[in-house]
Amino acid sequence: MDTPAVEPVKRYLLGLQDEVTAGLEALDGAGTFRRDVFESPAGGVVRPRVLSEGAAFERAAVNFSHTVGSRLPPAATTTRPGLAEAPFEAVSMSVIVHPWNPYAPTAHENLRFFVARPAGAPPVWWFGGGFDLTPHYGFEDDAVHWHRAARDACKPFGEDVHARFKQACDEYFTVRHRREARGIGGLFFDDLNEETFGGFGRTFAFLRSAGAAFLPAYARIVERRKQLPYGEREREFQLYRRGRYVEFNLVYDRGTLYGLQSGGRVESILASLPPLVRWQYDWQPEPGSPEARLTEVFLTPRDWLADD
């Protein structure tokens, strides 16, 4: 399978959306996703799914989109400025989960495939995506488990692949104006094609490996944490930390910017935001507290598998 094509990737991402939707509903235990479908005149489709106020999840979104456009949005051409005027086709699937329990982390996954068709030149294709974890209270065993799943997803494709995409994730998911990481990272890859990773078949296989790793890794962490007792202090800190998540998504996240620049459905694009969040002026955690430990221990990039 070395002939680039949108259709097999689309079929895979639609199937993965169904699988993740079912898995999160089972993990929640009570909530169900609202399922919508919106078609565009150009031939694309948006298939958002949103769960609100379930038993374990305050908000979860599992969205699929197929976009057919006449001009690549700026957010999609950061590494390929020569394609800014090219017609394109893109398919993507994204997941974002915001649990009720502050001890259960927020998680995110995105997988995407682009084909640009510049005038008078062959089509240009590339894959991108990854997954990352954003805890509000840190647990070392959760972090090791998460990064082990990321490493195992990369292992069949070369010994250097995990280190390469872990570093890219640490660099990308940084709230630069706060000078801190958004979370503990995971995997981030972009502009993967024949030159940077291998042929279409190999690169698509890697996308599938990353896609398959997300739900089992996250489900194990949620099962550990969703029943832990918490109080008003932990809830307020969770809402405060969610503010950092919102700041990153609205200022830096290329997926959010791409959706808005491409004229996508705003309700679907912003479904990834948490339903409740708080900002507090110049708040500082108490030294030695679990809240201080999040920043001191978990929000500085490190090799979580050094002793594994």
Q: Which residues participate in catalysis according to the annotation?
A: 108
User: Given CA atoms 193, 18, 241, 139 in this order, what sign does their dihedral have?
Assistant: negative
- Scan for tokens 């479908």, then name that residue: 37
Cα–Cα distances in angstroms (integers) from residue 116 to residues 14, 68, 99, 188, 278, in the given order? 21, 10, 37, 21, 40
Tokens for 160?
A: 């250097």
Radius of gyration of the chain (CA): 19
DSSP bridge pairs for 134: 106
Separation CA 101–CA 230 (nearest Å): 7
- For residue 129, the one-letter residue type is G
170 neighbors 298 (Cβ within 8 angstroms): no
17 neighbors 93 (Cβ within 8 angstroms): yes
| Helix (H/G/I), strand (E/B), else coil: 5 | coil
